[in-house]
Structure 1
Amino acid sequence: MDRAASSDESLNVLARQVSEHAEALVEVWSEAARAADPRLSSLQLQALLITHRCPGINLTGMAERVGAAPPTVSRLCDRLEAAGLLMRHRATTNRREIGLTLTARGREMLDALSERRFRAIRGVLQHVPAAQREALVAGLRSFTDATGAVDATDMGR
């Protein structure tokens, strides 16, 4: 086996291991979201998180980010607005454009979710040896940094 094939195989093994072990982290992370009040779908939660990161985002921008059609996103925002989590407003730069922002209740809900996730992860980390905690953070930091180098269309291939 040549060096390139060996490198590809090593990367395949590593990717499989990361995928398998990441499931536990994703499960802890997701379990905290399932306890959210009000209970939100993953798409609703994603929309709130995007609005938090990009206050004033318009419906078209939201549709692109969540990968849904604008009418679907409009209905999604209707439900979030009815729940008191999201607010629509006319954009200052273009009167025809509708911007989205979180309400105080929406921010409180996301803060509570963040705190639940923090406590859940902390609870698991208590059972990880200290030296491995540092290695975990270093590995996750490297993974996060590398995601910036990957084109979104390449993720999932």
Structure 2
Amino acid sequence: MDRAGRSEVPADDASREVAEAAEALVDCWTRAGRDIPPGLSALQVRALIAVRRCPGVNLSRLAEQVGASVPAASRLCDRLEAAGLLRRFRAFADRREVGLSLTARGDEALTSLAARRAADLCEVLSWMAVEDRRSLVTGLLAFTRAVDAGAPGHRRLGGAD
């Protein structure tokens, strides 16, 4: 049985099916980013999204969220800052701590990326039956809630606590 008391599809069987479907979704999702200036990598996009979700996040927390070491996250932020997408500032509570925030250009890049992703997803979703779309949305929302409620390593920065 699963945590909700249901015994329909074993989690390991479902995980294989979800992994296959996720590959198609990730392919559609990342394809949109290839056409968005300044040609951001997937890791750069993840970092910008994490900073947007949690403005003022410190470098250590960002590194944790993107799965990088602190030095690697610092270099990532160097590149994003040089591109004019991110800015660093001294935290008010602890002047030794560095906070991160998006610049207007960084926010615009994410907004443009989100619009492109939405358009790409809409095109694919239009090929699905209405009931299949509803089921997909319901399932993805349940998945998001499970991620946000799960182990700390799986929680999204700025997600529900």
> 2 CA distance for matches of 1:152 and 1:95?
27
Match of 1:34 in 2: 34
**Unpaired runs of at least 5, structure 1:** none
Pairing 1:28-67 to 2, within 5 Å after superposition = 28-67=28-67
Secondary structure, aligned partner of 1:60: helix
Listed one character per residue, the Cα deviations across residues 106-129 of structure 1 (whole Å, up to 9, x for unaligned) are: 000000000001000000111111
Contact 2:148-2:154 at 8 Å conserved across structures: no
> 2 CA distance for matches of 1:137 and 1:8?
20
Output the amino acid matched with 1:109. Answer: A
Deviation at residue 12 of structure 1 after TM alignment: 2.5
2:101 corresponds to 1:91: no
Please, which moves more after superposition, 110-119 or 17-26? Answer: 17-26
Please, which moves more after superposition, 117-126 or 19-28? Answer: 19-28
Bigger helix fraction: 1
> 2 CA distance for matches of 1:64 and 1:153?
8
Deviation at residue 152 of structure 1 after TM alignment: 4.4
Deviation at residue 54 of structure 1 after TM alignment: 0.9
Pairing 1:76-155 to 2, within 5 Å after superposition = 76-153=76-153
> 2 CA distance for matches of 1:29 and 1:79?
23
Larger Rg: 1
Residue 153 and residue 80 in structure 1: after superposition, are their counterparts in 2 closer, same or farther (change >3 A)? Answer: closer
Deviation at residue 9 of structure 1 after TM alignment: 7.6
% identity of equivalent residues: 49
**Unpaired runs of at least 5, structure 2:** 2-6, 156-161
